[in-house]
Chains A and B, each alone.
Chain A
């Protein structure tokens, strides 16, 4: 059975070539390998894995409210005997970690593939944790593809491994493998294997019930499994020596392997497709063959430390940074500095000095969050933020947020600050999708423990930052089927909140009145600030007009940070092509110089 691992099982006659991102290729590979259940919560850079998987015929794919729920669903499907796919970004695995750890003990009944995408450089994340550490921590095997073709193949391999060794298998991505496109062999005639039950489901107390008595017996099983996987790592073609000039031997995996190939075209490589557990014999063989071993890995010294423990001297983090995203340029520069590569001969003439203004991401023109933050800033309250587009309310000129930590943290942290002695009323701002993700429990906590904070659910009716995915409050499933739409207001009232208001934050006077009322209250309260995401609603009104005779160029309207408003010499102007006509600037102008046709 093991001989087949590493090769996709489907036929390759008349193959075609297609460009796919790593995310798409993984989903395609999982589908062709017979995965029929998929679950995820959207998170950059992993989002398109489940979006793509959902498009294949005969599969059930779902957005779960969060990653833990997604992983439990994937584990359940695998218990039932159906191959399953769970996708998450790196920090999502923190949320799902509890489930990951029990699934390693119980094992499964059919293959379970967890696709997990790290974000070195933090293109769209709050940290750059290296999730290879989870493999070691949870004692679960991990593969890492270096391009899209491998992503497709590794999906098949991971599912085979999962069933052979009775364990979940993680396929690790980084932004540059998730969101890079490369050529994938596509066989239009390839179809998934016919549905068959691998093993019928049966009650097995000692395997599936992790009470201490049974769990104690499962732990040795986990250790024995890792020992066998270590042997497997030495035999699988996923790990291989690529011979070159043995003066320099490079250990690398994933996208970093591709960068290093480019910078060191002549070196001998130990290419790791399986990043945990490591192939100890192969590493020793490699180290015996080359003069110098250089480990090139993004983020933590994960390989380096394990290879050092084998007693093999290596260079690694003494040359390459532990922080940030790698690139061929960065690797080349670091290698030159360390004297491994000769310095570049030709330089470029100095460029003329020119300040290029930075362009950080901003709330879109017409975004409903803008009115909310303008009023919050005006109120001068302490506002705990959360993860989503509205995190941009921390930036200038809105500057309304004091905090952003992780999904769902806003409400609990506001409650703790309240109990910790901040005398003013505390406010938590959380988006609708994030609220369903992990805001419900802290909201219950605030109520239960007699907190006095105000929670604003910024409800734009979608998961906007990741590209407008459905969630339990939208009324549609991932596969676009109509479903129950969870009623936020009814739910919050049902929990026991007495003070609950719903309003459109773009109507600033209404929102201000409600906020002031809530800030004066002595009970925990909820405001649902509801305005559909402007990118989805596509609602447009005629842009307002600025009367240059009335405009005093005071800059008040610029403080809402709306991109179409531009400071000119004598007055402010509106870029009509960008303006959605939301009318927020009309409401803030103290000179009444901005007017708009009535709705």
Chain B
């Protein structure tokens, strides 16, 4: 059973914690030992947030090492770029084509890098970069707040498990009235990620 290390990066309030719990639970369902690490509290007020999720035969550390992430799941463009040092030449990055300008940018005191620059940066370690308009797809499924679930849908094609397992996990973790919507968002991501 090969280890799989994930890093989920976004902005506080984007739902990285829920996504990391779905991913962790799916790993458990698939028979892996699983650990996660999240940060709560102050950083959640619109700041950079990251969650670590690790699957393996036996997982010790909840934190992923630099250069060891198999998958980087970026909920926002510069937040994805921020975690470059965790990638290697086999990593796959799923990046949401979505920008939330940091305050310094909205104030005109810093520049938001272009898509091309971010793409070049993420590819500089030799891994693959897959772009998704996850916010738009989530909006089509009912609510842009489900962008993380769309990204997980795309990722799910590469890490194993039939869609039933994932849909079941979503059902378990999402409040009842949002389950159908989230499953729809997941499947939209799963379809988009097959190519």
Q: Is A19 an interface residue (CB 8 A)?
A: yes
Contact of A147 with B63 at beta-carbon distance under 8 Å, contacts A44-B40, A47-B40, A356-B78 already known: no
Q: Is B48 an interface residue (CB 8 A)?
A: yes
Contact of A558 with B42 at beta-carbon distance under 8 Å, contacts A351-B84, A356-B82 already known: no
Docked pose: A465 CA to B107 CA in angstroms? 25
Cross-chain pair count, CB within 8 angstroms: 174
Interface pair A389/B106, CB less than 8 Å apart: no
Q: Is A327 an interface residue (CB 8 A)?
A: yes
Interface pair A392/B65, CB less than 8 Å apart: no
Interface pair A360/B24, CB less than 8 Å apart: no
Q: Is A378 an interface residue (CB 8 A)?
A: no
User: Mind listing 26 A-B residue pairs with CB under 8 Å?
Assistant: A19-B25, A19-B36, A124-B39, A176-B63, A179-B38, A180-B35, A180-B36, A258-B60, A258-B62, A259-B61, A261-B60, A327-B61, A329-B63, A329-B65, A329-B66, A355-B110, A356-B113, A358-B48, A359-B11, A359-B79, A359-B103, A360-B103, A558-B106, A558-B107, A563-B106, A567-B106
Q: Rank and list the top 5 A-B pairs by shortest CB-CB distance, nearest first.
A: A124-B41, A44-B41, A361-B47, A180-B62, A361-B45
Which residues of A sit under 8 angstroms from B59, Cβ to Cβ?
A: 182
Which residues of A sit under 8 angstroms from B65, Cβ to Cβ?
A: 262, 327-329, 332
A 341-353 binary contact with B (CB < 8 Å = 1; else 0): 0000000111110
Q: Is A467 an interface residue (CB 8 A)?
A: yes
Q: Which of B21, B35, B144 has the most CB of A within 10 A?
A: B35
Which residues of B sit under 8 angstroms from A332, Cβ to Cβ?
A: 65
Interface pair A17/B28, CB less than 8 Å apart: yes
Interface pair B40/A467, CB less than 8 Å apart: yes
Listed stretches B119-127, B150-158, B175-183; interface member? B119-127
Interface pair A183/B33, CB less than 8 Å apart: yes
Docked pose: A258 CA to B63 CA in angstroms? 10
Interface pair B61/A360, CB less than 8 Å apart: no
Minimum CB–CB distance for B19 against chain A, Å:
13
A 252-281 binary contact with B (CB < 8 Å = 1; else 0): 000100110110000000000000000000
B 36-61 binary contact with A (CB < 8 Å = 1; else 0): 11111111111110000000000111
Which residues of B sit under 8 angstroms from A363, Cβ to Cβ?
A: 45-46
Interface pair B21/A19, CB less than 8 Å apart: yes
Which residues of A sit under 8 angstroms from B21, Cβ to Cβ?
A: 19, 181
- Selected contact of A19 from candidates B24, B42, B79, B100, CB within 8 Å: B24
Interface pair A364/B46, CB less than 8 Å apart: yes
Minimum CB–CB distance for A164 against chain B, Å:
31
Interface pair B42/A351, CB less than 8 Å apart: no
Which residues of A sit under 8 angstroms from B126, Cβ to Cβ?
A: 348-349
Q: Is A123 an interface residue (CB 8 A)?
A: yes
Interface pair A555/B41, CB less than 8 Å apart: no
Q: Is B117 an interface residue (CB 8 A)?
A: yes
Minimum CB–CB distance for B108 against chain A, Å:
4
Interface pair A359/B102, CB less than 8 Å apart: yes
Q: Is B12 an interface residue (CB 8 A)?
A: yes
B-side residues, CB < 8 A to A, are 11-12, 21, 24-25, 28, 33-48, 59-63, 65-67, 78-79, 81-82, 84, 88-89, 100-108, 110-113, 117-118, 120-121, 124-126, 144
Categorize the interface residue count of chain A: 35 or more
Interface pair A262/B60, CB less than 8 Å apart: yes
Contact of A183 with B38 at beta-carbon distance under 8 Å, contacts A351-B121, A563-B103 already known: no
Which residue of chain B lies nearest to A367 when distances are taken between CB atoms in the complex?
Answer: B45
Q: Is A394 an interface residue (CB 8 A)?
A: no
Q: Is A95 an interface residue (CB 8 A)?
A: no
Which residues of B sit under 8 angstroms from A179, Cβ to Cβ?
A: 37-40
CB within 8 Å of B: which A535-568 residues:
555, 558, 561, 563, 565-567
- Selected contact of B41 from candidates A123, A183, A558, CB within 8 Å: A123
CB within 8 Å of B: which A135-155 residues:
147
Docked pose: A335 CA to B149 CA in angstroms? 39
Interface pair B37/A180, CB less than 8 Å apart: yes
Which residue of chain B lies nearest to A565 when distances are taken between CB atoms in the complex?
Answer: B106
A 558-584 binary contact with B (CB < 8 Å = 1; else 0): 100101011100000000010000000
Interface pair B78/A182, CB less than 8 Å apart: no
Which residue of chain A lies nearest to B78 when distances are taken between CB atoms in the complex?
Answer: A356
Which residues of A sit under 8 angstroms from B111, Cβ to Cβ?
A: 355, 357
- Selected contact of B67 from candidates A327, A348, A354, CB within 8 Å: A348
Q: Is A397 an interface residue (CB 8 A)?
A: yes
Q: Is A45 an interface residue (CB 8 A)?
A: yes
Interface pair B41/A362, CB less than 8 Å apart: no
Interface pair A392/B66, CB less than 8 Å apart: no
Which residues of A sit under 8 angstroms from B103, Cβ to Cβ?
A: 359-360, 362, 396-397, 561, 563
Docked pose: A45 CA to B144 CA in angstroms? 29
Interface pair A182/B35, CB less than 8 Å apart: yes
Interface pair B108/A555, CB less than 8 Å apart: yes
Which residues of B sit under 8 angstroms from A465, Cβ to Cβ?
A: 41-42, 45
18 other contacts beyond A181-B21, A357-B104, with CB at 8 A cut-off? A44-B41, A47-B40, A123-B43, A124-B42, A175-B39, A182-B35, A258-B60, A328-B65, A329-B65, A349-B124, A354-B81, A357-B78, A358-B104, A359-B11, A361-B12, A362-B47, A392-B45, A567-B106
Docked pose: A332 CA to B124 CA in angstroms? 23
Docked pose: A354 CA to B63 CA in angstroms? 26
Docked pose: A78 CA to B40 CA in angstroms? 31
Minimum CB–CB distance for B106 against chain A, Å:
5
Which residues of B sit under 8 angstroms from A479, Cβ to Cβ?
A: none
- Selected contact of A357 from candidates B110, B120, B125, CB within 8 Å: B110
Minimum CB–CB distance for B88 against chain A, Å:
7
Minimum CB–CB distance for B96 against chain A, Å:
14
Q: Is A587 an interface residue (CB 8 A)?
A: no
Q: Is A466 an interface residue (CB 8 A)?
A: yes
Which residues of A sit under 8 angstroms from B124, Cβ to Cβ?
A: 348-352
Q: Which of B43, B46, B89 has the most CB of A within 10 A?
A: B46
